[in-house]
């Protein structure tokens, strides 16, 4: 299966210890969710958030995806908004209560 081409720059990809712990318990990798996020699969977000994410790809706003692990724990993947030069610096994998 060919790898999907990212639709936007992720910057540095990081994950919180709590998110890594939840993913470890579910026997899943953060990479699985980051790749979905980068490909434009926003997961379990409402239509309004899907629209905002699509707009954010071109206007530089923050991009937010929400997924569930196999153990039903919510995982968020958030790419920061772009700076004044249009550069996105980080994408973070975290639990919702860490936001």
The predicted-structure confidence for 61-81, as pLDDT tens digits, reads as follows 999 999 999 999 999 999 999
Residues 6+ apart with CB under 8 A from 86: 60
% of the chain residues with pLDDT over 90: 94
Q: How far apart are the first and last CA of the chain?
A: 33
Q: Is the pLDDT of residue 1 over 80?
A: no
Instruction: Tell me what pLDDT residue 67 has.
Output: 98
The predicted pLDDT at position 5 comes to 84
Whole-number Å distance between alpha carbons of 72 and 68: 5
């Amino acid at each position: 299966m060919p790898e999907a081409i990212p639709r936007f720059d992720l910057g540095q990809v990081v994950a919180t210890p709590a998110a890594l712990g939840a993913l470890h318990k579910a026997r899943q990798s953060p990479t699985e969710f980051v790749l979905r996020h980068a490909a434009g699969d926003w997961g379990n977000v409402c239509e309004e958030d899907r629209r905002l994410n699509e707009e954010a790809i071109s206007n530089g706003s923050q991009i937010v995806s929400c997924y569930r692990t196999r153990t039903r724990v919510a995982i968020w993947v958030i790419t920061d908004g772009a700076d004044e030069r249009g550069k996105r610096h980080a994408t973070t994998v975290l639990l919702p209560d860490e936001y």
